[in-house]
Structure 1
Amino acid sequence: MRLSPVPHKGNPASVGPVLADLFLDAARPCREASPLTHTLLVAAARDLASGGVTARVMAGAERDRRGTVPGLRFAGALHRLVLQGRAPGLAEHYPSVGGTPRLDRLWRDAVPVLEEHADELRAMISTTVVQTNEPGRSGPLFGGLHVATRLAADAAGRRTPFPVRLLEVGASGGLNLRPHRIAYRVGDRVLGDRDSPFELDPGWTGRPDVDLEHDLRVVRRAGCDLNPVDVTTEDGRLHLLSFVWADQVQRLARLRAALDLALADRVPVRRATGPEWLAQQLRTPERGVLTVVWHSVVWQYASPADRAAGRAVLAGAAARATPTAPLALLVYEPRRSHDPDDPWEFQLLLKLWPADVSLRLGSGAGHGVPFAWDVRPWT
């Protein structure tokens, strides 16, 4: 789930001073992770400040909010042209289509593409939402579900773990609604669905203290998003691929494998706000299954009103949960850390009702890979 840009008309001459700093803001996190994107955005920021072709492409974005990340919408629109085979000169620099970056020539080869497609790019940027759907987060989700189903079973006096009803808020294209359909390579073992077309190395340090060989049974799945992506369409696939930094080839390969799995195992995502949708899904407890509400890197994009409404819906559902119809909240979200060099830490957190379990299961990278298991109380 992502915030939407605010489309409006504007004067190209006024764009540069407003947006150049936002482009530089978007470039900083890319310096190590994606030299191609960093180089592109820094050059585009200079071009914006001087009133070059980027100012024409970004005309109308003068009042865009920082949270809409106009720099990444710009980079994503260019990447989409490359993925479509419509910018062959620029494609030579893009590993996503087999190219090799030559950073000293990148901007020189980008300018003709910007000039030729300025109107199309401007229209695309003005209506596009920055959106990713990181299937690497299925690694922490898979382990977290095993922990949750085992603890819920223990609290209910069951010998076997509960089957799961999985509900994802901010599901985007729903790529993380298939944790039981993925093959997880952990050391010399393969967990999950060994016949899956999507094999994921979750990069785990440590293991949760549960039987990961036990089949994870997900009997029902559903998701919602403000801007759902239909990953069964070419447009939907291009949308998600375009926002992956083009020189992160492992991440692209992971996304493509998850998209292929989604074609074989379709789970539609409903357009709705989280609180509205959850209220419908959680109205009546479902006996014999563990209902798991899951979200990852969504909370920061929700409005204060939606956060409060979501908490209220969950509190009501928690009060109705029983040992035979338990409820879990499982989230993978950034939280402030005590490290001044890295102020945010992505943590996997679990709450379970009515067992009154509250655990921090571990932490990892923003994309879910790698991940370190370290179970402790969540206070």
Structure 2
Amino acid sequence: MLAELFLDAARGCAGRSPLTQALLIAAAEDLARGGVVARVMAGAECDRPGTVPGLRFAGALHRLVLEGRAPALAAHYPTAGGEPDLDALWGDALPVLHEHADELRVLVSTTAVQTNEPGRSAPLFGGLQTATRLAADAAGRRAGFPVRLLEVGASGGLNLRPHRVAYPVDGVKLGDPGSPFTLDPRWTGRPPVDVAHNLRLVRRAGCDPDPVDVTTEDGRLHLQSFVWADQVARFERLRAALDLAQLDPVPVQRAAGPEWLSEQLVRPERDVLTVVWHSVVWQYTSPADRAMGRAVLADAAARATPMAPLALLVYEPRRTHGPDPYRFQLLLKLWPAGVSLRLGWGAGHGTPFTWDTQPWD
């Protein structure tokens, strides 16, 4: 039942986005009554839970607000300079829904939820520094390897420029101190290697089944609309990452991950550390694609050499035995060095992050 999926999404907002939670609860009640939300969501009645129809609905409304076409509703949206009044929110949303129902239905039916969280560049930066140093040590090199970064499920590619971001740590800006994007990594502990030296990325590429062109206004609005509207700091972080992307464009290819990765890894590249990276995409891939991706990576790992090494670096939720059923962990495998490490864990958006290097079985 669609209304129940809206309520599921609302529960996911609890404690994190009171505005989105209140909006989705009211929308679920309207759906159950057969109100205007049923018209907006027509055609989505059988959508699977993984498509998160409630968040697509909230994102479509947010987009209208960001475009300046729903001023009364914008008064509740901090991302548009408003202040939420949760008691009045739904009353101001209803006229917008009636006026733009057909347009909202198209938006809901043609978009997928994509957050492309740039905060994950912080653990990525430390993970890349660790990988290149350990690969160099295994090869007997004095200097760290330059990196070829390959991202599967890259969305708009906002995490394909971790070396272009400024990270304030202990009073010093790591990465690129002159960057227009400063990201506080909120680290507890530190990576197991020196991260003060320059990280060199010589090649970057990404793929996604539905890539977002962040050099266009449409692409920027698409990603901004899926940020919960009362998370202003996260919204501003995304805008800074989008501005950086304009200065340093990296196209993302429309392709399925296993096939694209197979093409990218067809032969080892000497004097370069090739790093396959993905973050919070594993749960959205099919079992068949997961199996195919593992096989592609295993074939490439068998061809890796000390002077043409390969790394897998991922930031994904994993089951735990603690109070939280899942924890986002940064994991590293390195071939042919045989390194397999859990580097630490953090929030789903990448910050804060705790460095705690342990073997990864």
For the superposition of Structure 1 and Structure 2, which TM-score range results when normalised by the shorter chain? over 0.9
CA distance in 2, matches of 1:351, 1:60: 43
The structural deviation recorded for 1:298 is 0.6
User: Out of 94, 99, 103, which is 2:77 matched to?
Assistant: 94
Question: Which residue, 310, 316, 326 being the options, matches 1:333?
Answer: 316
Kindly state the Cα deviation for residue 57 of structure 1 after the two structures are TM-superposed. Answer: 0.9
Partner of 2:173: 190
| Cα distance, 1:209 vs structure 2 | 2.2
Establish whether residue 349 from structure 1 lines up as the match of residue 331 from structure 2: yes
Q: 137-146 vs 124-133, which deviates more?
A: 124-133
Tell me the alpha carbon deviations over residues 176-227 of structure 1, each in whole angstroms, 9 at most, x when there is no partner.
0000000001131110100100000011000012111110000000000000
1:334 Cα deviation from its structure 2 partner: 0.3
Equivalent-residue separation in structure 2 for 1:51 and 1:339 (angstroms): 41
Number of equivalenced pairs: 361
Matches within 5 A, 1:11-26: 18-26=1-9
Paired position in structure 2 for 1:261: 244
> Counterpart in 2 of 1:288?
271
Instruction: Tell me which amino acid in the other structure corresponds to 1:58.
Output: M
SS at match of 1:350: strand
1:243 aligns with 2:232: no
Instruction: Please tell me the residue identity of whatever aligns with 2:177.
Output: R
From 145, 148, 155, the counterpart of 1:165: 148
Aligned match for 1:45, one of 3, 28, 37: 28
Matches within 5 A, 1:16-165: 18-165=1-148
Separation of aligned partners in 2, 1:121 and 1:127: 10
Task: Please give the alpha-carbon distance, in whole angstroms, between the structure 1 residues aligned to 2:237 and 2:45.
Answer: 35
- C-alpha distance in structure 2 between counterparts of 1:182 and 1:273, whole Å: 28
SS at match of 1:129: coil
What SS is found at the alignment partner of 2:334? strand
1:258 to partner: Cα distance: 0.3
Mapped to 2, the partners of 1:297 and 1:62 lie a distance apart of 26
TM superposition score normalised by structure 1: 0.95
- SS in structure 1 opposite 2:159? coil
**What is residue 373 of structure 1 aligned with on the other side?**
355
2:294 equivalent in structure 1: 311
**Partner-residue secondary structure (3-state), 1:184:** strand
Q: Which amino acid aligns with 2:67?
A: Q
Amino acid in structure 2 at the alignment position of 1:178: R
Return the offset for 1:65. Answer: 0.6
Q: Does 1:363 align with 2:309?
A: no
Q: Deviations over 1:17-59 (max 9, x none)?
A: x211000000001111000000000000011111111111111
Q: CA RMSD in A?
A: 0.6
Aligned amino acid, residue 145 of structure 1? L
Q: Secondary structure at the match of 2:39?
A: helix
Q: Distance in 1 between matches of 2:80 and 2:168?
A: 26
Deviations, residues 225-259 of structure 1 (Å, cap 9, x unaligned): 00000000000000000000000001001100000
Query: Take 1:202 and 1:146, find their aligned partners in 2: how far apart are those partners?
Result: 15
Q: Structure 1: any 5+ residue segments left out of the alignment?
A: 1-17
Q: For residue 158 of structure 2, what is the aligned residue in structure 1?
A: 175
In the superposition, the TM-score normalised over structure 2's length comes to 0.99
- My pick for the range that moved more, 120-129 or 261-270, is 120-129
| Distance (whole Å) between structure 1 residues aligned to residue 86 and residue 172 of structure 2 | 40
Of 281, 287, 291, which aligns to 1:298? 281
Which of the residues 307, 323, 345 maps onto 1:324?
A: 307
Distance 2:225 2:354 in 1: 29
Secondary structure in structure 2 of the residue aligned to 1:28: helix
1:228 is aligned, of 203, 211, 218, to 211
% identity of equivalent residues: 78
Residue 75 of structure 1 deviates from its aligned partner by: 0.1
Q: What CA distance in whole angstroms lies between the structure 2 residues aligned with 1:190 and 1:51?
A: 54
State the distance in 2 between where 1:31 and 1:357 align.
Answer: 39
Cα deviations by residue, 1:243-289 (Å, 9 ceiling, x for unpaired):
00000001001100000000000100000011100100000100001
Unaligned runs of 5+ in 2: none
Distance 1:100 1:187 in 2: 34
Rounded to whole Å, the distance in 2 between the matches of 1:214 and 1:126 is: 46
Give per-residue Cα distances to partners, 1:132-180, cap 9 Å, x unaligned: 1000000000000000000000000000110000000000000000000
The match for 1:14 is none
